[in-house]
Amino acid sequence: MNIKTFFRRLNPELDLIDFTNLAYLGKRPVTFHGHTQLDLIRKGEVVYRVEKYNTLTGWIGDALSAGNFFNQIATNKIYPLSQWFGGCYLTDSANDATTSMLAGNTNIVAQAGDDAYSGSNTKRGSFNAIESGSGVNNGKCFIRNVWDWNTSQGNCAQGQSIASVCLTRGNLGKLQVYDSQSAAAADGETNTFFEKLSSADFWIVGSPNIIDYENERAYKVTYDESSTITVVEYFLNTKKIHLYGTLSSPIDTITHTISQTLADWEGVSDGGRMALGYDKENQVIHVFTWTAAGKLNDYTLDLSNDTASLSTKTYQGITLGYVKYYGNNRLIQAVLMDNGYYYISTATKIYKLNMTNAADATEYNSPCTSARDAIIQLPNGDWYQPSYSDDYTIYHHNGSYKCVYGGLGNEGGWLSSATAVMHDSSYALAALFPFVATVNNLESGSEVRKTSDLSMKLTYTITEV
């Protein structure tokens, strides 16, 4: 019996078979279960223990399929799969396993990587190599990872408790979040907010400066400094594999020419007050210009008819600064559009401007110096704003602006489930904080409150089902 006859017997309507769902014809990860044991210890005696089973998130499966852009993840970054569980986060509220990320409103109480730790980060614990282990039981593989926090580490603030335990990659568990770039530099921390997964960078034809991974689109936006905005739209293979398309070549390319003179444009010779924004929910590109006096011009591009519409507001009391411009008529500086606000960052300030109410404008001191020239938005509401020129990145989480070590440099930081506006160079697949491989939310009443008179031990076992 040939394979075609076999499938016709399974389904007479052979032409309707979705071959992308025939995963059983190839390799796929086995099913795993996670078991959490969290102990509070006083003078060597366990005084409180929480135990609970849980299943895993879809992060690993996505990395193997929907997140692996043309098989660019290096095999040593995938296998063994145990490396996806080498770090941990313990948070003060529940997390949603379906997102494979920490919740946008949760806070990390304790964390650890895959190493021993003796630094100044009071949230960090140490991997316990002696008590950790792995093996095979009745033909099923398992790993047991153990982490310890001493009495000065992982303590809860007043009114705070540990409500969720999550595992992540070992390098991501080490991340330190700082109030300022100077504090990060003084501490000498070198654990970056992302881990590069691809063994080599790759190029996309045309070097687009907007990437929408979920919608399989990328855009290159330029302005000729007189009257024409040009948008080259690329249809890409990202999380799906289509009949056409390769690693670097798009499936299809459409060039949009929009006749529009940008008001208050300041070009190459003047530095620049201009930027790109992208509404990922509606797949709409915005071009911005502004003046120092707080006048913001928002040009919404309609690619269905190649037109632009203008909305202008003046935010009193706000002095909007220059941003970096790279020339070649490319709009690269990014404006974030999120929950009804514009966010504009310069070398020293972050501006939060209400999209509809010009009286609602707030100015913050930036935790990182140098111009911010990219935006990476994550599904949980977090976003990053790295710089092309340094190794520090703004991290926005739950209304707070922090500084994390790590700069994308010439790498685009390509990753699944993210939308990015960034500079034009080579791209690399990356795992970012705060993606997680497991989520174990503790039931109400069983939360753990660690204080300075207690040490803590986490034993997390991953078992094949």
Cβ(23)–Cβ(438) below 8 Å: no
Q: DSSP characters for 220-242?
A: EEEE-SSSEEEEEEEE--SSS--
Q: Which two tokens stand for residue 326?
A: 């790279």
Question: Which tens digits make up the pLDDT trace of 387-396?
Answer: 767 789 999 9
Query: What per-residue confidence (pLDDT) applies to 329?
Result: 53
* Percent of the chain whose predicted confidence (pLDDT) is above 90: 52
pTM, two decimals, is: 0.88
Tell me the average pLDDT of the chain.
Answer: 85
For the chain, which residues make up each domain, given as ranges?
27-175+436-464, 210-431
pLDDT at 1 over 50: no
pLDDT at 17 over 60: no
Query: What per-residue confidence (pLDDT) applies to 124?
Result: 97
Q: Which amino acid is at 353?
A: L
Query: What per-residue confidence (pLDDT) applies to 332?
Result: 58
pLDDT at 4 over 50: no
Q: How confident is the model at residue 94 (pLDDT cuts 50, 70, 90)?
A: very high
Query: Is 172 in a helix, a strand, or coil?
Result: helix
Work out the average pLDDT over 422-447.
Answer: 82
Query: What per-residue confidence (pLDDT) applies to 284?
Result: 93
pLDDT at 283 over 60: yes
In the chain, % helix, strand, coil (3-state, to 5) comes to 10, 40, 50
pLDDT at 349 over 50: yes
pLDDT at 402 over 90: yes
Higher-scoring residue by pLDDT: 419, 402: 402
Query: What per-residue confidence (pLDDT) applies to 5?
Result: 45
Higher-scoring residue by pLDDT: 239, 364: 364
pLDDT at 230 over 80: yes
* Range from 116-130, 179-193, 199-213, 227-241 carrying the lowest mean pLDDT: 199-213
Q: DSSP characters for 40-58?
A: EEETTEEEEEEEEEEEB-S
Query: Is 3 in a helix, a strand, or coil?
Result: helix
**1.10.4160, 1.10.760, 4.10.640, 2.120.10: which CATH number matches 210-431?**
2.120.10
Residues 302 and 279: their CA atoms lie apart, in Å, by 12
* Range from 36-50, 239-253, 312-326 carrying the lowest mean pLDDT: 312-326
Question: Which tens digits make up the pLDDT trace of 331-348?
Answer: 557 788 888 999 988 778
pLDDT at 321 over 60: yes
Most confident of 157-171, 207-221, 398-412: 157-171
Q: Are strands 295-302 and 284-290 parallel, antiparallel or unpaired?
A: antiparallel
Query: What per-residue confidence (pLDDT) applies to 324?
Result: 56
Burial 15-51 (b: 16+ CB within 10 A, else e): eeeeeeeeeeeeeeeeebebbbbbbbbeeeeeeeebe
